[in-house]
Copies of this chain bind each other. A is one copy, B any other.
Amino acid sequence: HEQDIATIMLAANETLVAEQFALLIEALPQDKRLSVWATYPEETQRAAFVDMGQGTRTSLIQALSDEECFDLLAQLDVDDVIEIAEEIPSRLLKYAIKSLDDSQRKLYQQAQQFSVDEVGHWLDYNYVRISEKLKITSAQLLLQKGLSPYTEDFYAVNKEGVLTGTVDINSLIQSDGENTLKTLFSPEIIKLNGHDELTAAAEAVILSGKMSLPVVDENDHFLGRFTVETAYQVKQETQTEQINSAAGLTTDEDLFSSVRTSAKNRGIWLGINLLTAFLASWFIGFFEATLQQVVALAVLMPVVASMGGVSGSQTLTVIVRGMALGQITEQNRKVLLRKELKVGGLNGIIWSVVIGAITYFWFDSAELSLVIALAILLNLLTASASGVMIPAILNKLNIDPALSGSVILTTVTDIVGFVVFLGLGSLLLL
């Protein structure tokens, strides 16, 4: 392994990008991490500590002494502290908060007034707020301080801290007037409210085409800004969560999480899946007598279930995406349901004919062929309807359909598939 580490460290020194160190640590087995970590410069350690996944950070905290952790936390910015606040032990969090200076601690407390699902919790506090009273020439001098990344506007506030206008940096640079800033205000302020839901706010920033939007409270006081960088990170995390949850990974798992952590994390989902699998088995159990007499039904069961599952997931994915983009309303849901039923029906007809034909040639039974064809058609129609309706129902129950829709849907299509197939078999084949 010493050789692996050498290879990895060589790659690291070539790329020279602090944030990649976090990924490299994660790529190492747990017992090798500390020795590589110790080779990092202090600043890199700090950046990597904030940047790494929760699982990796937790393993590192366990390996380091509390004093070493305190050293890492002592010089973090408020943004970093907010980012890792929910993911580090409370004794470390307390220390990190204590180490902030007064103004930063105020910003931390401001962020805590918003839940982690609200945009107000995740603001960027880099320098962008200026007084509306400034003369243009004085504002131009402020540019000398340097611009933070993702800055194309200054946000002007009045004495009370109320956001009164946005000033485009490019107009500011080009202007040579002695006027007050107000003459440069953009005709309209596009802004977010701190209580706006985080993913919706992220979508809004991305769609706005701006690099950041100002965020205000109920009384229009300027709180900070929300950058397109954070917005993309939010969107990406939402998608990653969706991919993970579709696979049955409940929390952010690290490549080299301990066997115990990984097994526990995944075991929970295996347990949930087991419940739904036994539920399906229970339904199949009602048809034991039929299965005994027509064993071909048992042979073909997976075909009915998996076609329904795939078809339902297709509809579900299209609908969940539409919901995430705010495209689905009460009104167009009915139109969508009709459309999806038509798609399910059309594919149902085509594939039930194909499957019926294969079954006929395989088992030489027209009745069995009819039974499976009907079961496929009905299951694909059920799958289409479920794919539209399950997310709607989950949404009403405040459950995220992107995360739990899939397991519920396949439970439905499995059970309907088995019951219809074996039920029709009992009626027509016995």
Q: Could you tell me which A residues sit within 8 Å of B by CB distance?
A: 1, 3-4, 7-8, 15-20, 23-24, 26-29, 143-144, 146-147, 149-150, 152, 169-170, 173-174, 188, 190, 204, 207-209, 211, 228-229, 232, 235-236, 239-240, 242-244, 246-249, 253, 255-256, 259-260, 262-263, 266-267, 269-271, 273-274, 276-278, 280-281, 284-285, 288, 291-292, 295-296, 298-303, 305-307, 310-311, 313-314, 316-318, 321-322, 325-329, 331-332, 335-336, 339, 342-343, 346-347, 350-351, 354-355, 358, 414, 418
Contacts and interface: CB of A to CB of B under 8 A. Distances in A.
Given A4-B331, A169-B147, A229-B228, A325 B262 contact: no
Nearest to A149: B211
A29 B174 contact: no
Nearest to A387: B247
A291 B284 contact: no
Copies per assembly: 2
5 contacts: A273-B306, A281-B303, A288-B296, A292-B295, A301-B302
B302 A305 contact: yes
Nearest to A246: B246
Contact of A170 (B24, B147, B169, B190): B147
Nearest to A174: B144
Nearest to A358: B278
B281 A302 contact: yes
B16 A188 contact: yes
A273 B310 contact: yes
Question: Interface residues of A: mostly helix, strand, loop or mixed?
Answer: helix
Given A29-B335, A152-B147, A253 B302 contact: no
Contacts of A295: 288, 291-292, 298
Given A259-B342, A355-B274, A211 B253 contact: no
Given A4-B329, A239-B243, A266-B311, 13 more contacts: A8-B329, A17-B207, A28-B332, A143-B173, A144-B173, A232-B232, A236-B236, A247-B310, A262-B339, A273-B307, A277-B306, A281-B303, A301-B302
A327 B25 CA distance: 9
A239 B321 CA distance: 12
A208 B302 contact: no
